[in-house]
Amino acid sequence: MRAGIFSHRIAHCLLALLEKSLIGRVLTQAYFGRREKQGAICFVAATRLSEVEFWKKSLLGKRLKSWRNISGVKIRITFDNHQGLSKVYNEAIAEADVSDVLVFIHDDAWLLHEEALTDIWRALRRFDIVGIAGNTRRAPRQYAWYLRQLAEGGPVLDLPHLSGAVHYGEVFKTELHQFGPWPAECELLDGVLMAARVAVLRRTGLRFDERFDFHFYDLDFSRTARQYGLKIGTWPIHLLHASKGNLEDPRWRSNLERYTVKWGD
């Protein structure tokens, strides 16, 4: 076991012990509060749009444009991108300030409330990796976080093990799709938004596997995080996603082959 992973687990045990007493909870809250004042939330995304087009046309660009001058917010966008998301995200981890939080997010996403910034900090007091939707278990041949394979037949929603929610539609006319209760500890997270402290990623050595360029990077990241003993889970952070995914994309199938080779199930 890596030394960083071992020390992270020890820290989790100590925090769990502190949470059992009132004084311990007060000390824990003070500790997290001090850390959060020292850091910033950095939104990390990749887009095929140019810089001008991103700020004018993309959902994320339009949302972040109004947040650019907020204290404690940083923005890191890779424009005109043709690299895999895993590579873009790993570069952000390598170059970020260790006191910051990285929010890995798609460019067709819109955070509905400014309270999302506070929610992200709050969520990372409970989880090492946080998302908006996920699955509380992992089943064999589970090739999307929200589906399971029937013994005979195709995939179905993996109820009642799903957690979280995603809004679909338009900014001022959204439809909430509630997958299940949140917050909840999970085994798999949806990659539309995943947040983590840089310090945790650096200490444990957790990174995105660059063989997965767009599809399956989130499932792989989730499983690796759990393999390292990290806590991952969902939090009520309301987000509009313009895409519902495409399991027929040829890139999805090629990444599925890589995922199956790596994990076997």
Q: What is the pLDDT of residues 166-210, one digit of tens each?
A: 999 877 778 899 999 999 999 999 999 999 999 999 999 999 999
Q: Which band of pLDDT confidence, cut at 50, 70 and 90, is reported for residue 15?
A: low
Residue 243 CB: number of other CB atoms within 10 A? 10
Tell me the two tokens of residue 69: 């001058």
**Lowest model confidence (mean pLDDT) among 13-22, 90-99, 215-224:** 13-22
- Long-range CB pairs of 252-258, under 8 A, 24+ apart, other chains included: 252/215, 252/216, 255/212, 255/213, 255/214, 255/215, 255/216, 256/143, 256/215, 256/216, 258/211, 258/212, 258/216
Q: Which band of pLDDT confidence, cut at 50, 70 and 90, is reported for residue 37?
A: low
Give the per-residue pLDDT at 241: 94
Average pLDDT over residues 12-28: 64
Q: Does the pLDDT of residue 42 top 70, yes or no?
A: yes
Percent of the chain with pLDDT over 70: 85
Average pLDDT over residues 64-83: 94
**Lowest model confidence (mean pLDDT) among 34-38, 70-74, 106-110:** 34-38
Give the per-residue pLDDT at 130: 98
Average pLDDT over residues 223-252: 88
Give the per-residue pLDDT at 152: 77
pLDDT tens string 109-160: 999 988 999 999 999 999 999 999 999 999 888 889 999 888 777 789 999 9
**Lowest model confidence (mean pLDDT) among 105-119, 152-166, 246-260:** 246-260
Q: Does the pLDDT of residue 36 top 70, yes or no?
A: no
The answer to whether the pTM exceeds 0.85 is yes
Q: Does the pLDDT of residue 16 top 80, yes or no?
A: no
Mean pLDDT for the chain overall: 89
The alpha carbon torsion through 240, 246, 251, 256 (nearest 10 deg) reads 100
CB 18 within 8 A of CB 25: yes
Percent of the chain with pLDDT over 90: 67
